[in-house]
A and B are shown apart, each in its own frame.
Chain A
Amino acid sequence: MSGKALAVGPACPVPAQDVERVQLGHGSGGKLSRQLLRDRFLPRFSNPALDLLGDGAVLPATGSSRLAMSTDTFVVRPLEFPGGNIGTLAVHGTLNDVAMMGARPMALSAGFVLEEGLPLDLLDRILDAMAEAARQAGVDLVAGDTKVVERGKADGLYISTTGLGLIADGFTPSPQAAEVGDVVLVSGPIGCHGVTILATRGDIGFEVETESDTASLHPLVERLRKSCGDAVHVLRDPTRGGVASALNEIAEASDIGVELDGIEKAVPAPVQGACEMLGLDPLYVANEGILVAFIAASAADQALAVLQGHPLGREARIIGRAVDRHPGMVVARTGLGGTRIVDLLPGAQLPRIC
Chain B
Amino acid sequence: MKYLDEYRDPQLARTLVARIKEESSRPWVMMEVCGGQTHTIVRQGIGEALSGSVEMIHGPGCPVCVTPLEQIDRALHLASRPEVIFTSFGDMLRVPGSECDLQQIRARGGEVRVVYSPLDALELARNNPDREVVFFAVGFETTAPANAMAVWRARELGVENFSVLVSHVTVPPAMVAILESPDNRVQAFLAAGHVCTVMGWTEYLPLAERYRVPIVVTGFEPLDILEGILMAVRQLESGRYEVENQYVRSVTRQGNLPAQDLVSRVFHLVDRQWRGIGMIPSSGLGLREPFAAHDAERKFALEGITADEPSVCRAGDVLRGRIKPNECGAFGKACTPERPLGAPMVSSEGACAAYYNFKRFPAPDPRAADVAAARAL
Residues of A within 8 A of B (CB): 1-2, 4-6, 8, 12-15, 17-18, 21-25, 31-32, 203-205, 269, 272-273, 276, 278-279, 325-326, 329, 331, 333-341, 343, 346-347
Shortest 5 CB-CB contacts between residues of A and residues of B = A338-B45, A5-B329, A13-B310, A335-B10, A340-B358
Known A-B contacts A8-B312, A13-B311, A23-B107; the reply to A337 vs B376 at CB < 8 A is: yes
Question: Can you list 27 residue pairs at the A/B interface with Cβ under 8 Å?
Answer: A1-B327, A1-B329, A6-B330, A13-B308, A14-B313, A15-B98, A21-B108, A24-B106, A25-B103, A204-B116, A269-B1, A269-B2, A273-B1, A273-B4, A279-B90, A325-B364, A326-B361, A335-B8, A335-B10, A336-B46, A337-B369, A338-B45, A338-B49, A339-B364, A340-B42, A341-B361, A346-B338
Contact A18 B330, CB 8 Å, known A276-B4, A337-B369, A341-B358: no
Contacts A21-B108, A337-B49 aside, 5 further interface pairs with beta carbons under 8 A come to: A13-B313, A21-B107, A32-B338, A269-B1, A336-B44
Q: Is the CB of B376 within 8 A of A205?
A: no
Q: How far is the CB of B133 from chain A (nearest CB, A)?
A: 15
Question: In the complex, how many angstroms separate the beta carbon of A198 from the nearest chain B beta carbon?
Answer: 10
Residues of A with C-beta under 8 A to B234: none
Judge if B188 is at the interface, Cβ distance under 8 Å.
Answer: no
B348–A279 CB distance below 8 A? yes
- Chain B, 69-105, contact with A by CB distance < 8 Å: what is the 0/1 string? 0000000000000000000001000101011110110
Query: In the complex, which of the residues B329, B369, B373 contacts A2, with contact meaning CB atoms closer than 8 Å?
Result: B329
Size of the B side of the interface (Cβ < 8 Å), in residues, is 65
Cβ B359 vs Cβ A18 within 8 A: no
With A31-B338, A205-B116, A347-B94 known to touch, is A340 a contact of B107 (CB < 8 Å)? no
Contact A340 B43 (CB under 8 A): yes
The answer to whether B330 and A329 have CB atoms under 8 Å apart is no
* CA gap between A353 and B108 in the complex, in Å: 22
Known contacts A23-B104, A335-B13: does B120 contact A203 (CB below 8 Å)?
Answer: yes
A242 and B49 CA atoms in complex are apart in Å by 29
Contact indicator B10/A203 (Cβ below 8 Å): no
* Majority-rule SS of B interface residues: loop
B106 touches A23 (CB 8 A): yes
Q: Find out whether the CB atom of A24 lies under 8 angstroms from the CB atom of B103.
A: yes
Q: Complex: how many Å from CA A333 to CA B44?
A: 9
The residue of chain B having its C-beta at the shortest distance from the C-beta of A17 within the complex is B339
A278 to B117, CA, bound (A): 11
Cα A326 to Cα B364 with chains together (Å): 9
What residue of chain B has the Cβ atom nearest to residue A343's Cβ? Answer: B357
Instruction: Identify whether the interface residues of A are mostly helix, strand, loop, or mixed.
Output: loop
Contacting residue for B14 out of A18, A278, A331, A336, CB 8 A? A336
Tell me which residues across on chain A come within 8 A of B338, comparing CB atoms: 31-32, 346-347
Query: How far, in Å, is B375 (CB) from chain A's closest CB?
Result: 9
Q: In whole angstroms, how far apart are the Cα atoms of A25 and B114 in the complex?
A: 14
Check B45–A337 contact: CB distance below 8 A: yes
B151 interface residue, CB < 8 Å from A? Answer: no
B228 within 8 A of A: no
Q: How far is it, in angstroms, between the C-alpha of A352 and the C-alpha of B99 when the chains are bound?
A: 26
B122 partner residues in chain A, CB cutoff 8 A: none
Question: Which residues on the B side are within 8 Å of A335 (C-beta)?
Answer: 8-10, 13, 44, 222
Judge whether A18 and B348 touch: CB under 8 Å: no
